[in-house]
Amino acid sequence: MKKRELVILGAGPAGLTAAVYARRADLDTLVVEKGVPGGQIRITAEIENWPGLLKAAGADLADSFHRQAEHFKADFLTADIKSLRLEGDRKIVVTSAGEIEAGAVIVATGAAFRRLGCRGEEKFIGRGVSFCAVCDAEFFVDETVAVVGGGNTAVEEAMYLTRFARKVHIIHRRDEFRADPMIRQRAAGNEKLVPVWNSVVEAIEGGDLVERVVVRNVKTGELSALDVAGVFMFIGTLPQVEFLGGLLERREGGWIVTDSRLATSGPGVFAAGDIVSGAIRQAIIAAASGCAAAFAADTYLKIKA
């Protein structure tokens, strides 16, 4: 079994920032990630609130995080994370590539997009149903599409889709968006955006591909159909904690409980980023918590040495 001082689970802004600070502290550091490093910002069209950058493509920012961690010689392993075991002072990370013993662990596996659960959603994933405008917008040039949600992500991604689609319906269960005022103002000035207020999606229908979405007005109960070629879901996120089982204390929804130093209920196990209970789910917050978790892990390992 391989032994490492620090194993970081996840390579989003939290995990990659933790890797940078851990290596600068000269910790033997391994980052385990099942996909391409970068996390959710990789599929964000534009980021305008990263300090020092007026505007950046999410994928470009993700790549810069990854390059910086590599520059400081953090090691990377591409593998699925199966489970985490605590055996006294030993932390055993079980992956699809084998088991790794760690002196300390930082859990930074982030969150994934929540599914709507309506009829037809599962059937049409990859055939008109998408959770990533940046990935799939080019398939809907001059088409009409729908976006489900009303927060920052939903409205921003809807505006991005207007670069490609002829019309973008935004289906939201309230009568105004929950997005920040500046984002709402921009959306109001975009003629291609058509809000569908006080409505929820009942079904997604079509043949081989999406052809329409059935919506229900939550105030009147009236059903109506919108002819669309695609439906993009942005209705929140769920923590990626399945591999933990009941190992760590978590709050409702699965979010990991930590103290002020990002220590979890498991000795030598820290958590950072979107997966932490009560976190403001922004890239800069995730990165800052990754830094804090790396410092805490370094302190823990020095005490144990």
Which one of 118, 136, 274, 298 is the catalytic residue?
136
* Closest-CA residue to 17 (of 72, 58, 56, 54): 72
Beta-carbon contacts of 242 under 8 Å, excluding residues fewer than 6 positions away, are none
Which one of 26, 60, 135, 259 is the catalytic residue?
135
291 belongs to the catalytic site: no
- Please say whether the beta carbons of 148 and 232 come within 8 A: yes
CA distances to 44, 136, 263, 286 from 131, rounded to whole Å, are 11, 9, 32, 21
Which one of 28, 132, 180, 291 is the catalytic residue?
132
132 belongs to the catalytic site: yes
* Closest-CA residue to 129 (of 192, 197, 15, 205): 205
What six digits make up the tokens of 305? 């040495």
Q: Which contiguous run of DSSP H or E holds residue 95?
A: strand 90-95
Distance CA 169, CA 197 (A): 10
Distance CA 81, CA 90 (A): 17
The secondary structure of residue 209, as a DSSP letter, is: S
135 belongs to the catalytic site: yes
Active site residues: 132, 135-136
